[in-house]
Amino acid sequence: MDFIRPVQAVIPGAQGRILSVLAETSAELNLRTIARLSGVSLAHASRVMPVLVELGVVERREAPPSALFRFVPENVASRAITSLTRTRETVLDEMGSAAARLDSPPVSLVVFGSFARGEAGSESDIDVVVVRPLDIDEDDPPWREGLDGWREHVSRLAGNRVEMLEISEQDMPRLLRSRKPLWAEIQRDGVTVFGSPLTALREPRSA
């Protein structure tokens, strides 16, 4: 999935560009502004807008000397478009919910990289730090089965490959205190979707 332009990824062309702009604001916009913000020509926008009005996704109000257009969030099709604008947030929420359902949940799941920064395109990986509990071995069958199932579920949900960096809880304090660029990035941009935040893992915990 293209999480930078999710509406345009599913609805290509000028129509997708215009809907992406309109869905992100509750304000009324004139045709010239819509064309400028969506990056399409005024002529192209003038052909698309009547179609969207007819569908009920957009409403038009006369405001001489021009007309103003507004996205209609209550429309059934608009709801699907609004959901597309929230695809990244939806995936983050489901990542945490799916982890909570595991028989052996991790101590923490932290998303980092382009997905955490809101810069993930269709070819981007979803990078995740998985913190394994002290009392679970890396090769523990239930742990491996649950984690592999979680990764497959998230990959199917997002349409992007999931790359996991699995770390023992015991090693986290040392890594978080290191000056390695990767861990500086993780602490700066990381989004905790399940379990303990990174700040809570800086101190060692007894098994």
pLDDT in tens, 23-77: 999 999 999 999 999 999 999 999 999 999 999 999 999 999 889 999 999 999 9
Q: How many domains does the chain have?
A: 2
Residue 51 within a domain: yes
Average pLDDT over residues 160-175: 96
Q: How far apart are CA 128 and CA 195, in angstroms?
A: 13
Neighbours of 205 (CB within 10 A): 14
Domain finish residue from 84, 119, 147? 84
Mean pLDDT in residue range 107-125: 96
107 and 183 together in one domain: yes
pTM for this structure? Answer: 0.87
Give me the helix-helix angle, 87-100 and 76-85, nearest 10°.
70
DSSP H/E element including 108: strand 108-112
Classify residue 30: in a domain, yes or no.
Answer: yes
Q: 121-164, pLDDT tens digit by residue?
A: 999 999 999 999 999 999 999 999 999 999 999 999 999 999 99
- Buried (b) or exposed (e) across 82-118, using 16+ Cβ within 10 A? eebeebbeebbeebeebbeebebbbbbbbbbbbbbee
Show the domain range for 18.
6-84
- At 203 the pLDDT is 85
Strands 191-195 and 108-112: antiparallel
133 lies in a domain?
yes
CA 176 to the chain's CA centroid: 25
Whether residues 196 and 95 share a domain: the answer is yes
pLDDT tens for 184-205 read 999 999 999 999 999 999 887 7
- Other beta carbons less than 10 A from residue 24's beta carbon: 13
